[in-house]
A and B are shown apart, each in its own frame.
Chain A
Amino acid sequence: MQKLLSSLKIFLLGIGILLLAACNTIKHGTSAASSGFGSEVSTSGIGSPAEFNDTNINADRLRAPYNQVYYFDFDKYDIYQGDIASIRVQSAYLSAHPDARVRIEGNTDERGSREYNITLGWRRAKIVAAIIEQQGVSPKQIVMLSYGKEKPVAFGHDEDSYRLNRRVNLIYEAK
């Protein structure tokens, strides 16, 4: 779990840097000036010194409206503390945007009966939905769905794959 979060942090950091770089590029841009002799010359400046984004690396987790993934331990239906913060951010957004709607999809690992896994995925989706509703969000903005084990993202028959599949996806159907 830790390994996962740290690689996620690095990934997000990377994206963050790229985005900043893009911003910088956009700021400076290129300007095409025409000279007296009819040739096209494009000049460009060297840009301002790099700025580093010092905001929290879990940026998108705490940003809304961004689709989220929350993971669960085997046979457990509690939310990680870190995830609760994220859920709160999404809830705040939903409260502020009554036309926004999220679909909460519960998933399980591949072991066991398909229909029983639908009920397990449902339980996970319910927990996330409950937290959102607790924040005062109207149930009309929440759609709960369970895919059970029908939509795995990892296909090994091992604990690593199982861990990646035991999740709830929070998807914005309307923002």
Chain B
Amino acid sequence: MTKLLKFIFILLFPVNIYAMLNLELTQGVDKAIPIGLVSFSEHNDIADIISSDLQNSGHFRVVNIDAPQQSSYRVQAVNYAYWAQQKIDNVVIGNTKIIGNKYKITFKLLDVYGRSVLLNKEYTIPKKQLRALAHHMSDSIYQQLTGKRGVFSTKIAYVLVQRDPNKPTKYSLIVSDADGYNSQNLLVSSEPIMSPTWSPDGKNIAYVSFENKRAAIYSQNIASGERKIITKYPGINGAPSWSPDGKKLAVVLTKTSYPKIYILDLATNKPQQVTFGMFSDTEPNWSPDGQSLIFTSDRGGAPQIYQLDIQTGEVQRLTYQGDYNATASFTPNGKGIVILNRNNGMFNIALQDLTTGEVNILTEFGMNESPSIAPNGSMISYATHYGGRGVLSEVSSDGKVKLRLPSQEGDVQEPAWSPFLD
């Protein structure tokens, strides 16, 4: 009888009272992180710049606040409960003070649910650096909350073509901030400019210029504007691409009467032929480890992307989707390539995963070209048409965020995203 009672007792009550219940969470949502941005006193430009930066990245949903509750900058006064109620995960609170002819900027990044201060920074700068500082702060916030480096302080080089029926066409090579502001001319010419490309240290840009009715490759120092001729062979001098160590330039020459790829040692300026055959090879781009080149070739008929192992000379085809693939470049982690892909007559920007072979088409409408990926791999800028003009657009590498940069007088083409500059 006692035995039975014991048995029943054990069945009714668990052995450990308040044992931990195990749960597993594997699915989430793909949403932008809500971030509150409290204005930095009267000097709103900084908050505006940070707001645009974060919002345009697609990772954040910026809530601009003029909240009187938060006008006090002291952390003790921060009302975490208020932000939690608004379902806002993070808050940026800043303060600006003018000291003489300088600005003293302080800001804090708060984790609302963790009730902690993630960033607490202070800067003293001249007024003209305000914009650059705002981008720098965006970078800090972005990195703290996503774990990735921000590209808000990077630059984009591009070609602007201004046609006028009464005047000769004007071609300009321009460098601007990643958000399109602060554009500066590097070169203005009456002949075409093509294929701008950044050196890995961000100090020089190489490009093709048709000045003097001949194609030649130039390298220009961005700070000083000084430039020198890299190659000027008869025929094609095209598609320059800097090696990751900055010591070599891959180029296209027609020394053999067919467009072939050469690697030029910048110290000696001697080109070494690396692709061979009676067909066209062009658009070389280096792998992040510097061991291979991907390029466009019509050795198989229509243009496709191939990979050359520089050591062994072995060439392998990479693209099989669509009937035309060109303008390939590696993603910064080397695991994928960004390409111009044509399918059913439509030219779109695509991302191909080199491990799975999966091709993800990122753009639509089919009038796109010249993709260039940001150094953190998150965004791809490219050229497209809008309103009868050539404009620059951006798409995130997962295809979800789309942006169009404000159009200018003329056609904008061939964007080239700079490396990290800080």
Q: Per the CB under 8 Å rule, do A and B touch in the complex?
A: yes
- Residues on A lying within 8 angstroms of B by beta carbon are 103, 111-116, 118-120, 122-123, 126, 143-148, 150-151, 157, 173
**Quick check: A112 and B213 within 8 Å, CB to CB?**
no
**Quick check: B257 and A126 within 8 Å, CB to CB?**
yes
- Residues on B lying within 8 angstroms of A by beta carbon are 192, 194-195, 210, 213-215, 234-236, 238-239, 252, 254, 257, 259, 280, 282-283, 296, 298, 303, 324, 326-327, 340, 342, 347, 367, 369-370, 385, 413-414
Contacts of A118 in B (CB 8 A): 194, 236, 238, 252, 259, 282
Known contacts A118-B238, A144-B235; A113 and B259 CB within 8 A of each other: no
**Separation of A113 and B329 alpha carbons in the complex (Å):** 13
**Separation of A173 and B213 alpha carbons in the complex (Å):** 10
Q: Is the interface of B mostly helix, strand, loop or mixed?
A: strand
Determine how close the nearest CB of chain A comes to the CB of B177; give it in whole angstroms.
Answer: 24
**Neighbour of A123 across the interface among B214, B234, B280, B303, CB < 8 A:** B280
**Quick check: B340 and A119 within 8 Å, CB to CB?**
no
Best-surrounded residue of A112, A150, A173 (most CB of chain B within 10 A): A150
- The contact sample of 9 A-B pairs, CB cut-off 8 A, is A111-B347, A113-B326, A114-B413, A116-B282, A119-B259, A146-B235, A150-B192, A150-B194, A157-B367
Question: Closest residue of chain A to B326, judged by CB?
Answer: A113
**Quick check: B280 and A114 within 8 Å, CB to CB?**
no
Determine how close the nearest CB of chain A comes to the CB of B232; give it in whole angstroms.
Answer: 12
Q: Is the interface of A mostly helix, strand, loop or mixed?
A: mixed
**Neighbour of B214 across the interface among A112, A122, A145, A157, CB < 8 A:** A145
Contacts of B296 in A (CB 8 A): 113, 115-116
Determine how close the nearest CB of chain B comes to the CB of A102; give it in whole angstroms.
Answer: 12
**Neighbour of A116 across the interface among B213, B283, B385, CB < 8 A:** B283
**Separation of A146 and B324 alpha carbons in the complex (Å):** 21
Determine how close the nearest CB of chain A comes to the CB of B187; give it in whole angstroms.
Answer: 15
**Separation of A119 and B259 alpha carbons in the complex (Å):** 7
**Neighbour of A150 across the interface among B210, B239, B367, CB < 8 A:** B210
**Quick check: A114 and B414 within 8 Å, CB to CB?**
yes
**Quick check: A122 and B347 within 8 Å, CB to CB?**
no
Question: Closest residue of chain B to A125, judged by CB?
Answer: B235
Best-surrounded residue of A103, A115, A126 (most CB of chain B within 10 A): A115
Top 8 A-B pairs, shortest CB-CB distance = A113-B326, A119-B280, A150-B192, A119-B259, A115-B239, A113-B327, A115-B282, A116-B326
Question: Closest residue of chain B to A148, judged by CB?
Answer: B194
Determine how close the nearest CB of chain B comes to the CB of A97; give it in whole angstroms.
Answer: 20
**Quick check: B259 and A114 within 8 Å, CB to CB?**
no
Contacts of B340 in A (CB 8 A): 112-113
**Neighbour of B369 across the interface among A103, A112, A147, CB < 8 A:** A112
Question: Closest residue of chain A to B339, judged by CB?
Answer: A113
Contacts of A119 in B (CB 8 A): 236, 252, 259, 280, 282, 298
